[in-house]
Structure 1
Amino acid sequence: MSFMHLLSVLSYVLISISFTTGQQNPVFLCYDTGNFTTNSNYANNRNNILSSLATDVKSNNGFFTGSTGQVPNEVYALAICRGDSTLTECARCINSTSQDIMTECPNQKEALYMSSGCLVRYADRSFSGKMELDPVIIGCNASNLKSDMTQFGKIWGNLMDSLRKKASMSYSQFRFATGEADLTLFQTIYAVVQCTPDLSQIDCDSCLRQYVANYSSHCYGKQGGSFRGPSCMFRWELYPFYNAATTNNSTIAPGKSQISSSIIIAIVAPITVAAVLCLAGYCFLTRRARKKYYTAQEEFVRYPSVKMYKVNNITVEPNQFQKLLSSLLKEAKTQAVIDPKKFATRKGNFTTFQTLYVLVQCAEDVWNTDCSDCLEEAISGLPIARIGGTVLFPSCDCRFELYPFYNENLTPSPPVAPTPVLQSPPSPVTRPKGKSQISSSIIIAIVAPITVAAMLFLAGYCFLTRRARKKYYTAQEEFGHQKVDVTNVLMDCSGL
């Protein structure tokens, strides 16, 4: 029953993301490690700690971990927001998530919620300070890279290595880092990495290192992707998706004031900027237009599949396990194709004490042949050497485990997925200022060239805008007004 919530939420989000900009798929995980009854001590403790999470996170600058109650009814909780969130938006995300997780996982003793904005988890066991790699949510951009893969691998690897080291350093309050690297003249790689702050420097480094190392085997050659887990995450794209103006977590070591050097820099730097600003303005405007193109593409780029797998492999009779799994999946697929609800489950005895459970499902509005093809592709992507795994597509999904994860008597209707919480840019970081020892002549030397530079930039902008407008009207006179079939454009983009 609990994992059905996850399947339903993910399937809905993967379909509805076509209409959502800048958001990744939120994921609910309701663990089957134990249940509690309504109005029990554990239920009251869970409600109390989750209800106060938003306040606790806001008062602790975006991260909180703690517990309430006494053993065996003690509840442990953790909440964290992405490092470029404001405290207000962070508290809003945590509050909404805490309410949703109590609804989606009404009686499970352990649950986890991951989104692009925040993470909330609770359990009847202590997990603070422990690195956990499983489960991992993988998102791969549907579009392929057109760059030289050798060059890309070197640039991407250096960027991720730098961010991993920066995030794992002890001075990083949120173990959070962002960065970018030029891939080509017109393409830039943007990336975010983050660990939960309760991890040690070694564990944070290890968590990110393992996720980055496994990335190429899942999303090699794609234009973007993400790995998200309980202890760390990373994401990269070819367009800016984070608040770059508020994510500078580098340290600045103040030194002694050198008046003579300051005067030289104050005069030379603005004059140099003024001399090259026209060229820089042209490059900036060209680059901004291209960035807008990639930002607009986010409305159409899809993450069409999600793969989840257990870290441990099958060690006992792997050939027998794979043979049984293939047989059960084949039977379930055959039944689901002809079933009115496009849904089927199967189970079979693997050993004397272990039973293998299988679930497959298609969207009810797809044709039988499409359902069969979708499940065939999804099944082929399952990690059959693992002790469990899931593959989800917009139109179908399949899963197998060595424990019962579905209700054998009921087939619940999918719940409505929560509305993703939009992020707002966080408050600017305040930095200490030193005493000013610059005379009025120095101020004039600084202000005058900057004023000239600003005027040159404005003149260049007006010139380029005017020239573009002239080209537009010239094209109008030659070809007249053209009408674009927007429907066809959207149909083409949706296939990316």
Structure 2
Amino acid sequence: MTNLLTEAAVNPSKHMSATGSIKFRSETVYGHAQCTRDIIPDDCQTCLKTALAELKGCCSSRQGGIIVSRNCNVRFELYKYCNASSYLLTYPNPKGSNWKIGIVALAACALVVVIVIVIGSCIACLLKERGQQRGVERSHLALLQELACPRGAWRLWNEGREMELVDPSLMDRSQTEGIVRCIHVGLLCVQEDPADRPTMSFVVLALGSDPICRNLKTQDMGQNFLLVTTSFQILLLYFSIANLLDLAYADPPYSLCSNKSNYTDNSPFQNNLETLMASLSSNASVSKIFNTSTGIDPDRVYAQYMCLNYVRNESCRTCVAAASQDIRQLCPGDKEAVVWGELCQLRYSNQRFLGHLDVSGNIPQQNPKNISNPEHLSLVVNKTLSSLIKKAAFGPSANMYATGDEPFTGSDSVFSLVQCSTDLSPNDCYTCLEVAIKNVTTCCYFSRGARIFSRSCYLRYELYAFYDGATESSQRTVTGKGKKENTSQDDKFRGQALLAMCFLIILLSMLFALVLADPLFKICSTTEYGDYDQKSPFGKNVKIVLETLTSITSSTGYNSAAIGEFPDKVTGKALCRGDVTSSACQTCLRDASQKLLKDCESKEAIIWYERCQIHYSFQNITSLDVYAGKYPDMESHNKSVSDPVHFYDNVRFLMDTLSNEAALNRSKLMFETGEIKFSRNETIYGHVQCTRDIREDECHKCLSSALIDLKGCCSSKQGGIIVSRNCNVRFELYKYYNTSSHLITFPTPQDGGNYSVYTYNGAYINSHWIFHFLSEAKKKKTKSHGKKSPNIIKGISRSHGVHNDSRRGYMAPEYAMEGIFSVKSDVFSFGVILLEIISGKRSSGFYLTEHGQTLLAYAWRLWIEGKAMEFVGPLLVERGPAEGILRCMHIGLLCVQKDPADRPTMSFVDLALASDPIALPHPQQPAFSLVKIVPAGKSSSTDPSVNQMTVSSFLPR
């Protein structure tokens, strides 16, 4: 969306509109951004940025979202919803498509072999070079011992002759002051007492800030320190320093000056401030958080410093001393200011701020290096920080400070730190850190690390151990004075090389495992339901449930299980495709269970493979009527067909027929396969399936929703699949299942287009699909499509016993009496047909029956008397659910209301027939209908409409 924003606002050829797409794992995200053309590009960019921020706030975890405003709109979806051609964007470090996985595996094998050979060669060369250099090192060491003994550098420094220590090659090319400063920092780092040595953060600060005093402890140094002497080694030191400065990624100090009120030189306020700043560093030697004040109002000065809890007192004192100088230089004359150093923060004000939460002016700083999978990092960071802020704020012994690490990838972990000022209440501390999490989520989504500087709290996370006490897998800590490592450098180097080779082998194994067992789709509901520990009672119950489902489902194809008591109760269910064997079912479920245990530690998860699916949750999921369809990306689904309209007509006919068979025929175990001839050389194969814990009407409703999603994603594709918790649908141009299937014939003009399968045999009355065909047929201008509509009408008429030499239709009363024709006229005709389908009776001549009234009047009377089921035909009563039938009758009565303004639109009718949650208004009294029979030979092939809006290719009957 950021790229589209720039394209729409900056590129004049785009007319302030841009569309694009980007691959996201197995799916494609489509988006567009657009502005009205009456605003200038800068205003367009501002509007789109605001809309994008709101889009992130509302829809960052959703599969689609849209923000509309007066001057601009933004939208994204997981399907292509616009007709404009869009260019494919590439996200940093994209993953390969599934269809290339085989090629990737072969390429990976070749690459690993080459890497192993190269690494082996490098190891041999380096070991050889080390052997050659060993003699040089011995002689060099002897020279060092002669010219510069362990105390030599210290002695030269004390005597003021430190430049005698410097290599001659540096004398001509470097500034003397910088060299002396580096010697100073180096001597600080090699002091004998480890407590006296500075931290690396202080070293970074010392190398990047103004000159510091040359105070050194006068005690002797030990023997174990590093003296850099050769030019090559000094250059390496400079490179290391540069990397450290890059790692810090922002140069402290950071300051925030109020500029609201100022003090004058030599004023009482300035004198109080100077006194207070001079005394703070002495307190930092014994306390890491300190509050104080001096003077009397209105010249009273309140001050506070806070060092990070892990730093030593000496480092805290040094940081506070530097901050007290910086704050007066950065905010001269201000009566209120705050400055943040690398290890501490310092704040003063003329107003009492102790105990008051202040999150205004928070400063975010992000690591300049980006991450390739920001979504995963964001989940891990939010999980870790959410746990830490509770520990820091409400933990009885946490002292409002908490650190933690969480595994991120195989080689990286996320290290996090949070801290509050101890003068805050627990609730204020929690609020401050919660705001900091929101700040860091907004500013630093793509970064490898970030930190938030706030007046009342501090937050930071990185992919490396930045605080004392944190350990990384690659680090080895050496403690004690003057101790040497027992392992030689050569052995250490060989160990690292062996570790690298093992890592490559493991990586190759994982790659092959991915190729052999790749799920269609997986959902780990981490953010919504929380996580569990595998060693906890809930984790043990999850493992038992998955093992149980694997063993008991293979013989039946479906089963459910539950174990434990609240809150550790786990329920689960497993389903295998109806055509797979018992052994194949068990193998698939075993792989799925292992995948869930490995990748998901959430309290609810579900995974789909081609042959099976398995689902567990902390809540009761059996008979849970929730539909949330997913579209897994497959190779065949990226290919389009040449005639998408005719192709999907066949697909929809096949899938609707299979849905009715699977839902109505319980002996089919809610599974059905079928095939339909699309052309001379092509056959469409499909299957539908529901879990057996839901009712027939719930199965049909789930399948109907899945078919709607299938049309949205795959109407022009050579294959498609939709998976959900309770049902799955799929079609392909090849036979992908093992069982035999019956051939379904698509209605053609030669056989009269009998669609009775959608009337009496379809207990769920997909009559809106019939109207879809009527609408599509009248829009087509080609000869072949122009012939479709009459035959569809013949099919409907034949199901009611009407002779084939005429076509029947219904004129709305306002058109018959006054010649008024509108879109509501078609709605009226549709309503009459729908009521005919439900009753199994024709409207024509109905008044001659024993009821003595029109079909519409009869339906209305039974409806208001509460006897609506007496209106339903016997076939539907036997095979259809009463709730669905009555809903269709309700919609039919809404369509035939006397006042056209009260009738719904066809879009509302289609939506009402497709989804139950839509509330329907109470129907008003229907109008009468006139029936007209027109001989088929006198029909006209021209369109009777001028504006193309309500044209019908069939005549009233």
What's the TM-score bracket when you normalise by the shorter of the two chains?
0.3 to 0.5
Which protein has greater RCO, CA pairs closer than 8 Å, 6+ apart?
A: 1
TM-score by length of 2: 0.25
If the length of structure 1 is used for normalisation, what is the TM-score?
0.46
